[in-house]
Chains A and B, each alone.
Chain A
Amino acid sequence: MAVKAITPDYKGEALDGVDNFHGNIMFHVNWEKHLMFCAPLAFAMPPDAPFSTLLEETLPTAYGYHPDWKKVDWSKVEWTLDHEPFDPKPDASLEENGIVHRSLLRFTVPGAEGIADSGS
């Protein structure tokens, strides 16, 4: 039973379906071992935006404050998409890369373990 309700076959209205985002998808990115950013981030972007926009504009704005940011070499970064290993194609769109509404991207920068290697 999906909920105990006083009305039979009660159905809730999902508030966050992709149709409510005006053409965007909302997805999430986490930079592993850099918990100075207290939580993974939420972004809303058009699904046909090239993945390179994320690498060149979105993520540098989001994470550039961190001293480890200068260690980022995209060719060496390890990714997962929805917990599966992921090899992004920068010129392809988010959608073509398999990123959908509410996807979770996680990336690890080899050799970057945060402030004083504390995972911060």
Chain B
Amino acid sequence: MSRKLNLRERYQRMTRDLAWEPSYQSKSDIYPQMEFEGIKIEDWDKWEDPFRLTMDSYWKYQAEKERKLYSIIDAFAQNNGHMNVTDARYVNALKLFLTGVSPLEYAAHRGFAMVGRQFPGAGAQVACQMQSIDELRHVQTQIHTISHYNKYFNGFHDFRHMHDRVWYLSVPKSFFDDAMSAGPFEFITAISFSFEYVLTNLLFMPFMSGAAFNGDMATVTFGFSAQSDESRHMTLGLEVIKFMAEQHPDNIPIIQKWIDKWFWRGYRLLTLVGMMMDYMLPKKVMSWREAWEIYFEQNGGALFEDMARYGLRMPKYWEQTIEGKDHITHQAWGIFYNYTHAAAFHTWMPDNEEMDWLSAKYPDSFDQYYRPRFEHWREQAEAGNRFYNPTLPMLCQTCQIPMGFTEPGDPTTIGFRASDFEGNRYHFCSDGCKDIFDNEPQKFCQAWMPVHQIYQGNCGGATVPDVLDWYHLNFGVDNFDYAQSPDRQHWQQWKGEAAEESDAPDEAA
């Protein structure tokens, strides 16, 4: 007993050896969700944990990270760190990120706890347990950031409540609800592989670099602290796919279908991130188009070349994302510009320098399709006639984003798809979203569609102020154009900039 265990032995003793063969309950009763998805696992001991991290060292590493993180967060608060961001417009990107993504971190915490309970293998159980705790840590650190910014800027005050109600937050919410209401193998394919492994770089790299570029050290800090966990999560994602693929050939078509589905769902969700990169960062890092080329076309392309040995191919409709990279962020910003009177963050039109940046980054699309629209909006706003779309939009039943995406190859025509199911018609923005519905109509016919719910009278009333009240948004404070916002007025006061005419109420002082 006096001999010290080496790393391999420690890992063996403190993970695999913690499991046991049940003797008085059947395995199928203990793990009731293992069969219905059709995934066949012959030997859970083949699960490889590339990190060989034991729970005791996990606590030690994480505690160190926490100590560093909270000392920086404290310093940020004490030194009024929010005053160092490039411009208060930037904070609107944070509003979208922290109200849209932070609740997903919490959902991931719950999801990994659930699937960790369902997997019979000790290696997989421990990996899921650690990720579950990681995700709880992430949401906590982000709530500290919310808490700080909430003292100085509008729109952060009730993110939990808004997550369940606000029309655009239904996009990330429904993404995760879809994963969590699937079986454990689909959940882990969706979140660990498709999102964390294939797409997470598009969330973290540009966004955290964007935060650093724009002087937001609070976000950089939680970002870097989370990033070391993310590399573990990404490795888990890859291991999950390899494990399932190697366990049984029957698993391959099931996995491929999930990859197709979750790639498309992730792509639609990341449109919101792309929009932040192209429009909401006062100092730009890179364009969405460039990020997609690096992180999906190059890295993702190489990954799927590798996966070919299992019989897995590129996700269906990936070609459409190559065409779409020139368009989706401009279309998404247009959607939020249309409906910012019903949003908890502000929008604006790019200034001349930003328009020129967009022209340079999007030489094949911006000047032809989007600049005329944006310049018109800007002229109208300057003339006191700022455009707000007065009518609720048609939504895609799957991604829940307003149907603002155009037909591949035809950037002036909206893409329309539809399916009939049990006497009702459902509409979609794309082939990808239609396929997802058609594979599981019994699931997606239940989607809580914000526009439909408003028309059914379930959202507090029929007017925008009624609905915003039900969302817990402050009408005239959290919503409308940045130009008239109290946020902007405060920023100018704090910075001693020439105050512009504004009769907005002084709420945050």
Q: Residues on A close to B: CB < 8 A? A: 2-6, 10-17, 20-22, 24, 26, 28, 30, 32-33, 35-44, 61-62, 65, 83, 101-104, 114-116, 118-120
Instruction: List residues 414-432 of chain B with CB under 8 A from any CB of chain A.
Output: 414, 416, 418, 421-427
Q: Which of B82-90, B219-227, B440-448, B465-473 faces chain A?
A: B440-448
Measured between C-beta atoms, what is the minimum distance from A59 to chain B in Å? Answer: 9
Q: Could you tell me if B373 and A35 are in contact, using CB atoms closer than 8 angstroms?
A: yes
B463 within 8 A of A: no
Distance of A101 Cα from B455 Cα, bound (Å): 13
Q: Is the interface of B mostly helix, strand, loop or mixed?
A: mixed
Q: Could you tell me if B414 and A42 are in contact, using CB atoms closer than 8 angstroms?
A: no
Q: Could you tell me if A118 and B369 are in contact, using CB atoms closer than 8 angstroms?
A: yes
Contact partner, B36, options A6, A40, A42, A83, Cβ 8 Å: A6
Q: Could you tell me if A102 and B404 are in contact, using CB atoms closer than 8 angstroms?
A: no
Q: How many A-B residue pairs have CB under 8 A?
A: 156
Distance of A115 Cα from B412 Cα, bound (Å): 12
Distance of A118 Cα from B389 Cα, bound (Å): 19
Q: Could you tell me if B38 and A14 are in contact, using CB atoms closer than 8 angstroms?
A: no
Contact partner, B449, options A16, A28, A103, Cβ 8 Å: A16
Contact partner, A16, options B337, B413, B418, B424, Cβ 8 Å: B424
B72 within 8 A of A: no
Give every chain B residue within 8 A of A2 (Cβ-Cβ). 440-442
B338 within 8 A of A: yes
Q: Could you tell me if A15 and B441 are in contact, using CB atoms closer than 8 angstroms?
A: no
Contact partner, B387, options A21, A35, A36, Cβ 8 Å: A36
Q: Residues on B close to A: CB < 8 A? A: 32-33, 36-38, 182-183, 186, 331, 334-335, 337-339, 368-373, 376-377, 387, 389-395, 402-404, 406, 411-414, 416, 418, 421-427, 440-449, 451-453, 455-457
- In the complex, 25 of the A-B residue pairs with CB atoms within 8 angstroms, ordered by the A residue number, are A2-B440, A4-B37, A4-B440, A5-B442, A12-B442, A12-B445, A16-B424, A20-B456, A28-B394, A30-B394, A35-B414, A36-B376, A38-B335, A38-B337, A39-B394, A39-B414, A41-B392, A65-B390, A102-B424, A104-B416, A114-B412, A118-B372, A118-B373, A118-B412, A119-B369
**Given A40-B414, A118-B369: A21 in contact with B456 (beta carbons within 8 A):** yes
Distance of A13 Cα from B445 Cα, bound (Å): 7
Distance of A37 Cα from B321 Cα, bound (Å): 23
Q: Could you tell me if B442 and A26 are in contact, using CB atoms closer than 8 angstroms?
A: no
Q: Could you tell me if B452 and A15 are in contact, using CB atoms closer than 8 angstroms?
A: yes
Give every chain A residue within 8 A of B418 (Cβ-Cβ). 104
Give every chain B residue within 8 A of A20 (Cβ-Cβ). 456
Most buried by A among B371, B394, B425, B444: B394
